[in-house]
Amino acid sequence: MAIQDDVGQDRNLRLMARWRTTARVLVEALPYILQYDGKVVVVKFGGNAMTGGVAEDFAQDIVLMKQTGMEPVIVHGGGPQIGAMLKKLAIPSTFVDGLRVTDKAAMEVVEMVLTGSINKQIVTGINAAGGHAVGLSGKDGNLVIAKKLERMKIDPHTLESKAVDLGFVGEPERINPEVLRTFIKSDLIPVIAPVGVGRHGETFNINADTVAGAVAGAMQAERLVLLTDVEGVFDREGKLIQRLTLREARTLIADGTISGGMIPKIETAIDAVEGGVNAAVILDGRIPHVLLLELFTQHGAGTLITAE
């Protein structure tokens, strides 16, 4: 009997310890819940992260953000899924400086995958987690007015700068924030596919990071969150840099510390902060519940970019 009492007491002590830990986490989160109450947080969710448990964790994080008073707005990518569908349909696909050259046939596939398949998967996941999400593309309500993206490359033979035709690849020219405010006022979570519309009705494929940054600026968001497949920005010794000012970020790009695919993400963060966003952060979207770790804890989880 005494042994059973000891086992029961030990179980109760472990249970109490778990409860105290939970209570400490909630208390630590409280000031951040108050800080973000009623504030817009734009989250870019990349195609590489839309798998299994990661997608479920993301949906739960978004619902909790909404329930604690934040106004999350999601912009998603879908590069791997687009590539797989183009391959399945035997449509050639090439890249220039990381941008997919998009002809008319490819554009139809891009729009189908982004606005049809991926967008609805994210909306369904959020709704299954208890939220109320609505899917749309940049074409809906003229949310994202776009123009053709122009790129120049140096000809290695003549050393002359020549224009490169990327097809129906665009960049945001104007964002209509009232479309998103209408959904937010209706207590809905907008989920945006990065497809824009030209002034003559053309459909454009736009980089999701770029759309997220433009939307964050137009909404004067409190935070722009870019979920990627790395922890953040690293210094030359391989150590994670937890915070950067705009000037420091530009210096690291200039000296080569920031390179490759991280450059456009940092440039998007810089543009967003200069456009009025309070701060931007680059996070590893593979970490379980990384959004909650970043927004509700003292130390955060990635690289934060601020004006000063």
Instruction: Check which CATH number belongs to the domain holding 58 and give it.
Output: 3.40.1160.10
**Residue 113 within a domain:** yes
Q: How far apart are CA 99 and CA 77, in angstroms?
A: 13
pLDDT band at 263 (very low <50, low <70, confident <90, very high): confident
In this structure, what token pair is assigned to residue 285? 């979207």
pLDDT of residue 4: 54
**Residue 161 within a domain:** yes
Among candidates 75, 12, 18, 11, which has minimal Cα distance to 41?
Answer: 75
Q: How many domains does the structure of the chain reveal?
A: 1
**Residue 59 within a domain:** yes
**Residue 115 within a domain:** yes
Host domain of residue 123 = 38-306
Q: How far apart are CA 39 and CA 45, in angstroms?
A: 19
Is the model's pLDDT at 58 over the cut of 70? yes
pLDDT band at 288 (very low <50, low <70, confident <90, very high): confident
In this structure, what token pair is assigned to residue 131? 């939220």
Is the model's pLDDT at 1 over the cut of 60? no
pLDDT of residue 2: 52
Among candidates 237, 243, 238, which has minimal Cα distance to 269?
Answer: 243
pLDDT band at 33 (very low <50, low <70, confident <90, very high): confident
**Residue 12 within a domain:** no
| Residue given tokens 């030209």 in the structure block | 198
**Residue 24 within a domain:** no
pLDDT band at 147 (very low <50, low <70, confident <90, very high): very high
Lowest mean pLDDT among 1-10, 37-46, 177-186, 210-219: 1-10
**Residue 31 within a domain:** no
For the four alpha carbons of 198, 200, 203 and 205, in that order, the dihedral sign comes to negative
**Residue 148 within a domain:** yes
pLDDT of residue 152: 72
Mean pLDDT of 69-93: 92
